[in-house]
Each structure stands twice: as C-alpha cells, then as structure tokens.
Amino acid sequence: MTDFTDVLENPDSNTKKSGPLKQYVTFLVDDRSYGVDINLVREIKQWTPTTTLPNQPHYTRGVLNLRGTIVPVHDLRTRFGGALTEATEVHVVVIVWIGSKTVGILVDAVSDIISVPTDDIRPVPSGQSLGDMSSLSGLVNTENGMVALLDLNTLFPVEEDEL
C-alpha cells in the first residue's frame, strides 16, 4: 500500500485556521476528487476480488471478508454513471460507516486528508446536469482543486432494519 497511511498519521497537514474545522479523507476516481467525513472512515484496504451477489445494482461489486464480517463493496465510478472499474491491486477500497453498517467503496486511490473550515464548504449548485448531485453534500476548493464531499446515505442508502 502506498503513502496514504503516512497521511493518515499526520491529518493536520492542510490545516487552515478559520472557524470550526472538519476533516475529510479525499480520494480519486478518474482524477476527480471526492471527500468523506473522516469520522465515517473505518479503514482503507487494498482491492481484493469480491464475491458477486445476484440481482444487485451494477455498481455493487459484491462482498468481501473483513476480518470475519461480510461487507458489501460498491464501485464509486459506476455509481456516478461510469463504467465498471477494472479493479487491480492498486485500487483501493475505503471502508466507511453508513448508519450502523460497514460498507466498502471502490475508488482509484486515496489522496489526502484535508481540514476544512465549515464556512468554506459551498453548497452544490442545483439544476446543473452534473450527474447525481443530491449525493453530494458540498464542495470545497483546495490548493489541489475542487473536492466534492459525498453524502454517503444518499449515495448508498442502507436499510436500517425494519424501522
């Protein structure tokens, strides 16, 4: 695995001081940057082949064994309307909490951890044909370009059992 473990250990590398800070793990899909609240990230693991499930959405790549529990893996590229990722061992699965469930998200690579003042989070413009915008919770401009913050609950809704 690559240098992102190093990044994880030094989460303050991008700190700007203005207002309350939130930290996001950012990752790349097709050179586009996405971010997820760091509190929701459980771990990051290298891609391993999954066991496919019958009759699931195209983006659901199947399930993997995470230390004895079965965790579904979704393909972020496919979810945003792209093709299936031809996953190899350089691809990365970000294991996140969605509600009470543990879910894996297949991305190309993890890039950074950023600290963002909440004031700097811009709303997603509506009415634009940029794809499924409701699955984004905000946009942030960083030195390395724009990061789209993911709303995981909308992106990969989980059934909170029998509520």
Partner 1 sequence: MDDDDDFDFQALFFEECHELLATLQEHLNQLNDGTNDEETVHAAFRAVHSVKGGAAAFGFDQLIGFAHIFETVMDLIRSDQMEPTSEINQILLRSGDMMEVLIESAQNDTPVDEEKLSNLQGELEHLASGGAGAEEVPETSIVSAKSTVEVFDTPPEETTADDGDAKPRSREITVRFAPEKDFFASGHDPLRLIGSAKALGLNRIEVLGQVPPLKDFDHTACALTWEFIFDTEKSVEDLEEFFEIYSHIADIEFSSDEQMDEDGSPEDAAAAPGAEIDEIADSALAGASDSSTTEQKEPIASDPKTAQKGSPRVGSEAAGGAAKARSGPSKSLRVELPRIDRLVNLVGEMLITQAGIAQKLMEIQATDSSEDGMEMGHNVEAMSRQLRELQESVMAIRAQPVKSVFSRMPRVVRDLADKLGKEARLELSGEHTEVDATVIEELSEPLTHMLRNSMDHGLEATSEDRVAAGKSRTGVIKLSAEHRGERVIITVEDDGRGVNRERVLAKAIEAGLISTEDSLSPEEIDMLIFHPGFSTAAEVSSVSGRGVGMDVVKKKIVSLGGRCTLESTPGKGTRFEITLPLTLAVMDGMTIVVGDQKFILPLSSVVEALHIDKEARKCLPSGENLLERRGEFLRLIDLRAILSQPRKGNEMDMAIVVDTETSGLVALIVDELIGQRQIVLKSLEANFKRVEGISGATILGDGQVALILDVPSLLSMNGSSGSYSEMMH
Point out which residues bind partner 1 (CB under 8 A).
Answer: 49-56, 62-65, 68-72, 99-103, 158-163
Nearer to partner 1 among residue 18 and residue 65 (C-beta): 65
Dist. CA 75–CA 77, nearest whole Å = 6
Q: By C-beta, is 71 or 148 nearer to partner 1?
A: 71
Residue whose CB is less far from partner 1, 32 or 42? 42
Closest approach, Cβ 58 to partner 1, in A, equals 10
Q: What is d(CA 73, CA 66) in angstroms, rounded to the nearest whole number?
A: 11
Cα–Cα distance between 74 and 63 in angstroms, integer? Answer: 9
Radius of gyration of the chain (CA): 16
Closest approach of partner 1 to the CB of residue 161, in Å: 5
Question: Residue 143 CB, nearest distance to partner 1 (Å)?
Answer: 34
Query: For tokens 């989070």, what's the residue?
Result: 121
